[in-house]
């Protein structure tokens, strides 16, 4: 079947769900910058969502979007919807899509645990990393993840600076004039956060105590690191604003992104 509409609907819902998660993270980063709250990671964002009026209903809608995003990432990676090919660069991009599917599937399971559907969440990135560490060693895993996160960070900045995201949009010139500043700023902001996570993993690799630690750095750790820098409050506020723009970029993908589905 060519271009089944239900897959497109789930893909667009998935981009929207990602946008909501990052909007919450960005808002709380700005609040934390001025002493009015704490930084949140993606799981924390879901926790804040369920605390709102009609939170359970909104969480079920969010889960539908997360399931759609996970499935869409799998389809992108396996069927190569965007024609990345089998070159080393193409395979690396598709591996990143698979990793994204794994991350958001873990987030989906965590959301289900908040609703009481499952007995408990999963640790997501940390759990996978710790399991892998049991086979090859914690310091080696830290180095691998540092390289992976740095590569994804560079890819985000490259995508923003070279406007590669534009290749996947179906929008007229007037609409793109509004999307460009949102996409460029949002992608660079997320790229910076991912680069900070890579730095934290690098420190773990170099630290003699890394092997004894069970927690792996994530989004909240990166925001805490930024807040600890000179003028950290202002930097954190700027980063929060950037993540909100990344959320807006995700929302624009929900509306205007080209969703390619290849024949089975």
Within a domain: 28: yes
Residues 90-123 as b or e (16 or more Cβ within 10 Å = b): eeebbebbebbbbbbbbbbbbbbbbeeeeeebbb
Q: Is residue 80 part of a domain?
A: yes
Q: Between helices 138-161 and 125-136, what is the axis angle to 10°? A: 130
Query: 215 versus 193: which is more confidently predicted?
Result: 193
Residue bearing the bigger pLDDT, 100 or 211: 100
Check residues 132 and 112 and name the one with the higher pLDDT.
112
Is there a domain that residue 199 lies in? yes
Per-residue pLDDT, 215: 61
**Per-residue pLDDT for 191 more than 90?**
yes
Domain for residue 166, yes or no?
yes
Residue 29 lies in domain: 5-256
The 10s digit of each residue's pLDDT in 135-174 is 445 677 788 888 888 988 999 999 999 999 999 999 999 9
Residue 263 falls inside a structural domain: no
Residue 56 lies in a domain: yes
Closest CA to 198 of 245, 238, 228, 155: 155
- Answer yes or no: is pLDDT of 123 > 50: no
The pTM for the full model equals 0.83
Res 85 pLDDT > 80? yes
Q: Is residue 188 part of a domain?
A: yes
Structure confidence at residue 46 (pLDDT): 82
Is pLDDT at 116 greater than 60 in this prediction?
A: yes
Q: Is residue 17 one of the residues assigned to a domain?
A: yes
Is the pLDDT reported for residue 89 higher than 90? no
Q: Is 257 helix (H, G, I), strand (E, B) or coil?
A: strand
State how many domains the chain has: 1
Task: Convert the pLDDT of each residue in 241-254 to its tens digit.
Answer: 999 999 999 999 99
Residue 208 has what pLDDT?
54
Determine the angle formed by the axes of helices 42-50 and 5-33, rounding to 10 degrees: 90
């Amino acid at each position: 079947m060519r271009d089944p509409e239900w897959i497109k609907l789930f893909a667009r819902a998935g981009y929207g769900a990602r946008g909501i998660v990052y909007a919450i993270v960005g808002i709380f980063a700005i609040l934390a910058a001025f002493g009015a709250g704490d930084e949140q990671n993606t799981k924390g964002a879901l926790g804040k969502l369920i605390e709102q009026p009609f939170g359970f209903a909104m969480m079920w809608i969010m889960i539908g979007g997360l399931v759609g995003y996970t499935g869409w990432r799998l389809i992108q990676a396996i069927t190569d919807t965007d024609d990345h090919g089998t070159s080393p660069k193409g395979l690396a991009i598709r591996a990143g899509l698979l990793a994204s599917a794994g991350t958001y599937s873990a987030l989906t399971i965590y959301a289900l645990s908040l609703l009481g559907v499952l007995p408990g969440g999963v640790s997501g990135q940390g759990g996978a990393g710790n399991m892998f560490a049991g086979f090859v060693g914690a310091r080696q895993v830290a180095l691998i993840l540092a390289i992976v996160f740095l590569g994804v960070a560079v890819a985000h900045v490259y995508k923003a600076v070279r406007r590669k995201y534009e290749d996947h949009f179906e929008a007229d010139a007037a609409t793109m004039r509004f999307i460009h500043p949102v996409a460029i700023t949002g992608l660079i902001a997320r790229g910076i956060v991912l680069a900070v996570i890579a730095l934290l993993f690098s420190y773990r690799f170099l630290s003699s105590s890394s092997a004894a630690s069970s927690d792996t750095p994530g989004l909240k750790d990166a925001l805490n690191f930024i807040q600890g820098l000179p003028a950290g409050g202002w930097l954190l506020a700027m980063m929060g604003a950037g993540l909100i723009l990344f959320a807006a970029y995700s929302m624009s993908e929900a509306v205007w992104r080209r969703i390619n589905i290849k024949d089975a």
